A and B are shown apart, each in its own frame.
Chain A
Amino acid sequence: MKRIDLHVLGPLIALIALFILGALLNPAFLAPANLSNVLARSAFIGLIAVGMTFVITQGGLDLSVGSMAAFLAGITIMAMNALAGFTGENWGTILLGMGVALAGGAAAGFVNGALITKARIEAFIVTLGTMGIFRSLVTWLADGGTLSLDSGLRSIYRPVYYGGIGWITWPIIIFAIVAVLGEWVMRHTRFGRHVEAIGSNDRVARYSAVDVERVRLMTYVLLGALVGLATILYVPRLGSASGSTGVLWELEAIAAVIIGGTALKGGRGRVWGTVVGVLILSMIDNILNLTDLVSPYLNGAIQGVIIVLAVILQREKRAAE
Chain B
Amino acid sequence: MKRRNLLKLPMAAAALSLMAGAGFAQDEEGAVIGVSIPSATHGFMGGLNWHAQDTIDRLGETYPNIEFVLSTAGDAASQVADIEDMLATRNIDGLVVLPFESEPLTDPVKMVKEQGKFVTVVDRGLAEEGIEDLYVAGDNTAFGRVAGEYFRDNLDAGAKIVVLRGIPTTLDNERVEAFEAALEGSDKEILDMQHGNWNRDDAFNVMQDYLAKYPEIDAVWAADDDMAIGVLEAIAQAGREEEMVVVGGAGMKDIVKRIMDGDPQLPVNVTYPPALISSAIEMTALNFTSSAPMTGRYIIGSQLITPENAEQFYFPDSPF
Q: Do A and B bind each other?
A: yes
**A238 and B201 form a contact (CB under 8 A):** yes
* CB of B287 closer than 8 Å to a CB of A: no
Q: Evaluate contact between A139 and B230: CB separation under 8 angstroms.
A: no
Known: A37-B212, A145-B318, A296-B194. A244 touches B229 (CB 8 A): no
Q: Which A residues lie within 8 Å of B319 (CB)?
A: 142-146
Q: Is B45 an interface residue (CB 8 A)?
A: yes
Residues of A within 8 A of B50 (CB): 143-145
A263-295 near B? 1/0 per residue, CB < 8 Å: 000000000000000000000011001101000
Residue of A nearest to B50 (CB): A144
Q: Is the CB of A143 within 8 A of B46?
A: yes
A146 touches B205 (CB 8 A): no
A contact residues around B318 at 8 Å (CB): 145
Chain A interface main SS type: helix
Task: Choose one: B46, B199, B201, B208; the contact of A145 (CB below 8 Å).
Answer: B46
* Residues of chain B lying within 8 A (CB to CB) of residue A247: 199
The chain A residue with its CB closest to the CB of B229 is A238
Among the 9-residue stretches A28-36, A82-90, A196-204, the one with 4 or more Cβ atoms under 8 Å from chain B is A28-36
A243 & B212 in contact (Cβ 8 Å cutoff): no
Chain B residues lying within 8 Å of A37, measured Cβ to Cβ, are 208-209, 212
Q: Is A238 a contact partner of B230 (Cβ separation < 8 A)?
A: yes
Select from chain A the residue with minimum beta-carbon distance to B237.
A162
Complex Cα distance, B50 from A162, in Å, reads 34
> Once the chains are docked, how many angstroms separate the CA of A143 from the CA of B50?
8
Given A238-B201, A289-B209, residue A296 in contact with residue B195 (CB < 8 A): yes
Q: What B residues does A290 contact at CB under 8 A?
A: 209, 212-213
Contacts of A297 in B (CB 8 A): 168
In the complex, A139→B3 CA distance in Å? 11
For residue A242, CB closer than 8 A to chain B, the reply is: yes
Collect the chain A residues with CB atoms within 8 Å of residue B229's CB.
238, 240
Residues in B with CB closer than 8 Å to A34 are 208-209, 212
Contact A31 B212 (CB under 8 A): yes
- Bound state CA distance, A33 and B209, in angstroms? 10
Tell me if A289 and B200 are in contact (CB < 8 A).
Answer: no
Q: Is B212 touching A142 in the complex (CB atoms < 8 A)?
A: no
With A237-B204, A237-B233: A244-B41 Cβ-Cβ less than 8 Å: yes
CB <8 Å contact, A289 and B46: no
Assess the A28–B212 pair: CB atoms within 8 A.
Answer: yes
Known: A37-B208, A144-B45, A238-B204. A296 touches B193 (CB 8 A): yes
A93 interface residue (CB < 8 Å to B)? no
Min CB distance B50 to A, Å, is: 6
B233 near A41 with CB under 8 A, answer: no
Chain B nearest Cβ from A231, distance in angstroms: 13
B177 CB to nearest chain A CB (Å)? 15
A144 x B47 contact (CB < 8 A): yes
**B306 sits at the interface (CB 8 A):** no
Q: Which residue of B lies closest to A147 (CB)?
A: B319
- Are B3 and A242 interface neighbours, CB within 8 A? no
A245 — which chain B residues lie within 8 A by C-beta? Answer: 200-201
Contact of A286 among B1, B45, B204, B209 (CB under 8 A): B209
Instruction: Report whether A145 and B47 are in contact in the complex, using a CB–CB cutoff of 8 Å.
Output: yes
| Best-buried of B43, B165, B194, B254 by chain A (most CB within 10 Å) | B43
Pairwise interchain contact A244-B213, C-beta atoms closer than 8 A: no
B320, CB-defined interface residue at 8 Å: yes
Chain B residue at minimal CB-CB distance from A245: B201
| Structural contact, B212 and A285, CB atoms closer than 8 A | no
Q: Does A208 sit at the interface, judged by CB under 8 A? A: no
CA distance A41 to B201 in the complex (A): 10
Nearest CB in chain B: distance from A28 CB, A: 5
The answer to whether B212 touches A139, judged by C-beta atoms less than 8 angstroms apart, is no
A residues 213-232 in Cβ contact with B at 8 Å:
none
| B205, A285: Cβ atoms closer than 8 Å | yes
Distance of A117 from chain B, by nearest CB (Å): 29
Beyond A142-B46, A145-B319, A247-B199, 17 additional contacts (C-beta under 8 Å) are A29-B212, A37-B212, A139-B41, A143-B1, A143-B50, A144-B50, A144-B319, A145-B40, A145-B320, A146-B319, A238-B229, A238-B233, A242-B200, A289-B206, A289-B210, A290-B212, A299-B195
Instruction: Show the binding face of A for B, using Cβ within 8 Å.
Output: 26, 28-29, 31, 33-34, 37, 41, 135, 139-140, 142-146, 148, 162, 237-238, 240, 242-245, 247, 285-286, 289-290, 292, 296-297, 299
Q: Which residue numbers of B lie inside 8 Å of A, CB to CB?
A: 1, 3, 39-43, 45-47, 49-50, 165, 168, 192-195, 199-201, 204-206, 208-210, 212-213, 226, 229-230, 233, 237-238, 254, 318-320
Give me 24 A-to-B residue pairs in the complex whose CB atoms sit less than 8 angstroms apart, sorted by A's number.
Answer: A28-B212, A28-B213, A37-B209, A143-B319, A144-B40, A144-B47, A144-B319, A145-B318, A146-B46, A162-B237, A237-B204, A238-B200, A238-B201, A238-B229, A238-B233, A240-B200, A242-B42, A242-B46, A244-B41, A244-B42, A244-B226, A245-B201, A247-B199, A290-B212
